[in-house]
Amino acid sequence: MTSTASRTTGRRALRRFSLVCVGSVIVVVALELVLVFLSRGVDHVPGFFAPSDDGSFILAAKSQSEYWHSGRVVTVTIGADGTRLVPSAPPSAPTTLHIVGDSQVFGWGLSDDETLPEHLQRMLGPDLRVVNHGKPGIGPMGYLQKLADIPLSDPVIVVLTEMNDFQDSYSAMPTVTHHCGSIVLPNGIGRRLPCFVLRSQIFNLLMDLRNLATVERTPLPLGFNPYAVISARVLCKRVENNLAGFLQRRAGASTLLTIPWEAEFVPSRLSAYAPFLDKAEAHTRLPGGTRLHAAFADAPDPDALFQPNDHHISAVGVQWIARALVNLRDWHHAAQEPENQQLADCSFSATLP
């Protein structure tokens, strides 16, 4: 009698457990479908990356991807040559201008028609073709690898990023890795997730809620960190000796400049960084570190030059940089005037902070 009752109780418990599991799956699937509908079927994770033969990653050639970024849908198109599309670029032109850099040049968080190379193309006209060599996750040593594939007689603009190019000059290897068509931190949670979870609407909603509920302060750029003076100066000299030296050996005109750290122009953003600073004062500048400062300082609303809660340049900021570049250099004649190339050394403050 007791044995029969135990089996009956066990079957009931198993049935309840099965119903709970099935119900949970139905709820999760229903929630995912609702979120897919609300997001119009657009992913929240970029999907334009592919693994490379060396174990790193490349931009997926002949691909187009739409994804949500900061509340809006961004369109990214990668051409057959593995570079991001510059929509206004002519098929051919007497001169080809190459723009080399990281996610700032690539146009992270921006659509194809909003990137820096695209704005330059519109300003410079059809007599010159602009190529976007921006690649998220690389640094100055990675720029050297890009430059090695560019004809020596072609003009180039190398755009450094004050926010992270000190740190990224430690190695030629990218700071991120490929996973499921996107890029993730090598030791981050995304690297360990199966693709269907990483790309699910529910997971990305949970990540958004976590980001809203927690405050994670970003490390200061080394050039502004008072506790990293020596590291910054050593790394800056490495950039100067390798990158600037390489550019000087090119036959084509070369320009090297740096996109400033946003908190230097928008003090309210200092609270997002650690250690905390009352005022942003640089002790070390990357080559070309102040060439864009006048353009940023003249902006009526410097905060609008950057994306919300992000150091990346906004669509408005891209236009300011493009205008500044056109004023710095007449690229229609750059290939004929390589002796006027605009390079610079590292700059250091007179006294240590």
Q: What single letter denotes the amino acid at residue 111?
A: S
- 218 forms bridges with which residues in the sheet? 273
Least confident of 32-46, 56-70, 125-139: 32-46
Helix (H) or strand (E) holding 230: helix 229-239
Q: Where are the beta strands (DSSP E) in 141-223?
A: 156-161, 177-179, 182-184, 218-219
What are the boundaries of each domain within the chain?
Answer: 87-175+217-348
Burial of 167 (0-12, 13-18, 19+ CB in 10 A): middle
pLDDT, one tens digit per residue, over 189-247 is: 878 889 888 888 888 888 878 877 777 899 999 999 999 999 999 999 999 988 877 88
Tell me what pLDDT residue 66 has: 96
pLDDT, one tens digit per residue, over 99-146 is: 999 999 999 999 999 999 999 999 999 999 999 999 999 999 999 999
CATH class of 87-175+217-348: alpha beta
> In degrees rounded to 5, what are phi and psi of residue 131?
-115, 130
Query: In terms of Cα–Cα distance, which of 234, 294, 227 is closest to 265?
Result: 294
Least confident of 137-146, 151-160, 273-282, 290-299: 290-299
